[in-house]
Amino acid sequence: MSIDTKTGGPLSGIRIREVVLAAGRGFVLALALLPTAIVCFTLTAVSIGLIPAGIGLVTTPWILTRVRMFANWRRVLAAEWCGVRIPAAYRPVPAGAKPWTRTVLMLGDPATWRDVRWLLVDMTAGFFTALLPAVLLFYPLEGYALAAGLWRVIVDATGDTYWYGFVPVAGQATALGAAALGTAILVVALRVNPHLLTAHFRLTRAVLGAGEGELAERVRVLTETRRDAVDTSAAELRRIERDLHDGAQARLVAMGMDLGTVEMLLEKDPAQARQLLAQARRNSADALDELRDLVRGIHPPVLAERGLGDAVRALALRLPTPTEVTVELPGRADAPVESAAYFAVSEVLTNAVKHSGADRIWADLHHADGMLRITVTDNGRGGAGIGAGSGLAGVERRLGTFDGVLAVSSPAGGPTMVTMEIPCALS
């Protein structure tokens, strides 16, 4: 019977799954992080060095934005895989800012230099801690293979002793010693693998997380996001006023004038009066449609009545690109959070339809560990980013109002995956 080294009881399938999952995730993470961290750090150093020549003014903001995307991706994985929260505290960069302004603002942000230090740690200690769970799980297999007879092949081929860890394998007895060492390593793996992956993300948090100035930085970010929220609300009110004035209001005024003319023509020219009545009826229908569209743009009725999941499903049905929606929400969030999440998803889906060239889109909504997580994936051409003036930059500001984060993975050639997280509770 297998024994759980943590509890002393039978080793459960859930425990084994956690151990194997930690090893697999750590291995994939190690393969991805080492080359990415090296490339990001090298490009950052070269670009900053080229600032005096003028070239770095153009390249540095672009590269630092990608570094932030990489860091945000790690924040999402830390929360989803191990429940480790790593808050982002980047200072916002004004949309449409000139390259010099963007460079100065980003280099003056302490979070930028935390990212750079993290890249150094990530390619060294971070790589080791991510890969270690896989090593502890799979290295024992070599010990068992040696005990099964592989030692003969190796010793005959090399004519020398083969070292398995600290065990010199030169015969069947020492091969069995290698198997015993492999068993000991496997027992350690079964006990510590999930904790090692958590340790990796805690190391990431220790470097990426803000230090003594965290509270001041947090206040700064919240101030900026609240100001963005006020500006967005003001712009939305102006849009509503403009749409009412140019659309439904104008049609209602025209309908009133037509009805006034009908009153005068009822006895003199009934045929003309009927035409004007038909026109007034068409104007009333058009005005009603415009008012419905306007209300849907403010707060869709399906969102208020049936919640975020059904609202996103209804939104997906209106898209020209086939969209599959998966919802796992055991309850409903507060109305402001649902509204922000809905319009964020709407913006991301609209961008995917317009710019990605995708023929298939997937949206996943679920709630876990106090976080509403939304992922939108498309199989388009890729290359999306959170640049100044982009739709995703607006989504990031919208989510920032609720302490939410946005991460984008969009390599050239696709696929593109946009992940959004908003801390909230469901009722």
Distance, CA of 327 to CA of 338 (rounded, Å): 14
**286 and 331, same domain (yes or no):** no
Q: Is this structure's pTM higher than 0.85?
A: no
Helix, strand, coil abundance in the chain, percent, nearest 5: 70, 10, 20
Is residue 275 one of the residues assigned to a domain? yes
Is residue 285 one of the residues assigned to a domain? yes
Tell me the HSE value of 399 on the side-chain side, using a 13 A CA sphere. Answer: 29
Ranges 254-268, 355-369, 394-408: which has the least confidence: 254-268
Peptide bond preceding 415 in cis form (omega within 30 of 0): yes
Say yes or no to pLDDT of 154 above 60. yes
Which has more confidence, 244 or 154? 154
What counts of helices (H) and strands (E) characterise the chain?
14, 7
Say yes or no to pLDDT of 255 above 80. no
**223 and 336, same domain (yes or no):** no
**180 and 262, same domain (yes or no):** no
pLDDT, position 90: 82
pLDDT, position 208: 87
**29 and 131, same domain (yes or no):** yes
Name the residue among 141, 126, 119, 115 with its Cα closest to residue 196. 126
Domain count, the chain: 3
The per-residue pLDDT of the chain, averaged, comes to 81
Is residue 6 one of the residues assigned to a domain? no
Find the CATH number of the domain harbouring 402.
Answer: 3.30.565.10
Domain with 345, as residue range(s), is: 306-423
DSSP 318: T
